[in-house]
Amino acid sequence: MHVYKFGGASVRDADAIRNLAGIVRQYGRQQPLLVVVSAMGKTTNALEELFQLAYDGQDYSTQLARLSAFHQSVAADLGRAQETQAAAKAEAPLLSDLLTELADRLATVGPGDYDRQYDQMVSFGELLATCIVARALGLQWLDCRPLIRTDHTWREGRVDWPTTERHITAAVPALLAEGPVLTQGFLGGTAGGATTTLGREGSDYTAAIFAYCLRAASVTIWKDVAGLLNADPKIFPDTVRYPEISYRETIEMAYYGASVIHPKTLKPLADRRIPLRVKSFMDPEAEGTLIHDCHHPMLAPAFICKTNQCLLSFESKDFAFISEENLEVIFGALAQAKLKINVMQNSAISFSVCTDYSERRIHQLLDLLREHFTLHYNTGLTLFTIKNYDAASVARLTEGRGLLLEQRTRSTFQFVCK
């Protein structure tokens, strides 16, 4: 069997969904196919905003009406059985029921565990999208939440692999024998039945989870770019596509923040040697990129840019050296505040880390460490990484920029700047 994953851009409106239908019809009908779909367009951002308003006790009616109207208009445009009652077991819920449930649940949001409530609300994007797409294409609809078991790490659920594999292998092959199956990216569920999410942009990971458990022959991620490129074409004008690349190189690029594939996607695929194709949904005949077990010569330098960075520096209050004991306290606090280290560097009496900026998490960190350390931080920064760098690529990227922190290994050059 094969797995296809379609991201937000490939289901952004009715035309995009018709295009997706064409791809599934043309390439997917020959073999058993599981299709994973993300929330439509920027719906996840819209749900985050809605949730924030509800959590803060503010009026969100305009935003909710806009989100509902958008999904209803796409469904209406696509027509076909959008509002007929679910007949078969594997049929999607009614869009109107889902929208009512979203409204009802938003009304219950309030003070309490922020991240847990976030998952219960923001997960509606994928439910709405798969509901619309399944009905429009006449595909079997599968709720992935009872299958993908995670722990209670809200917003970044950690997958319980043995349980998940047992669930998926028990439920999915029989459905696949009936025809293509459509399910949600990004979502999982706890043993108690609460919804979890797997981390922003986590739908790629979902495709890998199903592929791993079902021992898929391949995974294809359909994107709005021609394949895996050496840089984001929105930022760098002259990109090159890698026709073929190893799992390892791709894992490293994803780790440094190349937004093309969610970083957790590669390991399950590499473990079972399942090839991953990245293809353009606008040009499905084009070659794209094949990620698999391969050896290749030195690749073209990859430029990876992470914006909205925060550079923190910790100084011990008593001018003591940054010792292992101090680092232990700092790392513990970073983990507790769920701040991930993108780069770090230490000197005699100070230690610096670059993380993604989140005001809430930075304040939590400050509270945890205030007693022992003086903290300084700068926000609004950019972290650039050049993988497989050479002198020319370094010169090109650093020219005219004030570097706040810089680090190089044999293969990777990284710097933080304004």
Name the site residues for Mg ion (rule: CB under 5 A): 8, 38
227 binds, among Mg ion, ligand ASP, none (CB under 5 to 8 A by kind): none
Partner whose footprint covers residue 200, from Mg ion, ligand ASP, none (CB < 5 to 8 Å by kind): ligand ASP
Separation of first and last alpha carbons in the chain: 47
Contact set with ligand ASP (CB under 6 A): 7-8, 38-39, 44, 125, 185-186, 200-203
Closest residue to ligand ASP in the complex (CB): 203
Q: How far apart are CA 302 and CA 405, in angstroms?
A: 20
The values of phi and psi at residue 354, to 5°, are -110, 125
Q: Tokens 């300084």: give the residue.
A: 376
User: Which partner, Mg ion, ligand ASP, none, binds residue 195 by CB below 5 to 8 Å per kind?
Assistant: none
Q: Which of residues 8 and 157 has its CB atom nearest to ligand ASP in the complex?
A: 8
Q: Which helix (H) or strand (E) holds 341?
A: strand 341-346
Which C-beta is closer to ligand ASP: that of 61 or that of 259? 259
CB closer to ligand ASP, 7 vs 268? 7
Q: Tell me the closest approach of the beta carbon of residue 186 to Mg ion, in angstroms.
A: 8
Residue closer to ligand ASP, measured from CB, 194 or 394: 194
355 binds, among ligand ASP, Mg ion, none (CB under 5 to 8 A by kind): none
CB contact set of 187 (below 8 Å; sequence gap of 6+): 123, 126, 127, 144, 145, 148, 195, 196, 197, 198, 206
CB of 7 to Mg ion, least distance (A): 5
With CB cut-offs between 5 and 8 Å by kind, which of Mg ion, ligand ASP, none does residue 185 bind? ligand ASP
In the complex, the smallest distance separating the C-beta of residue 142 from Mg ion, rounded to whole angstroms, is 20
Measured from the CB of residue 115, what is the shortest distance to Mg ion in angstroms?
A: 19
Choice between 8 and 257, CB closer to Mg ion: 8
Q: Using the minimum distance from each CB to Mg ion, give the nearer residue, 12 or 167.
A: 12
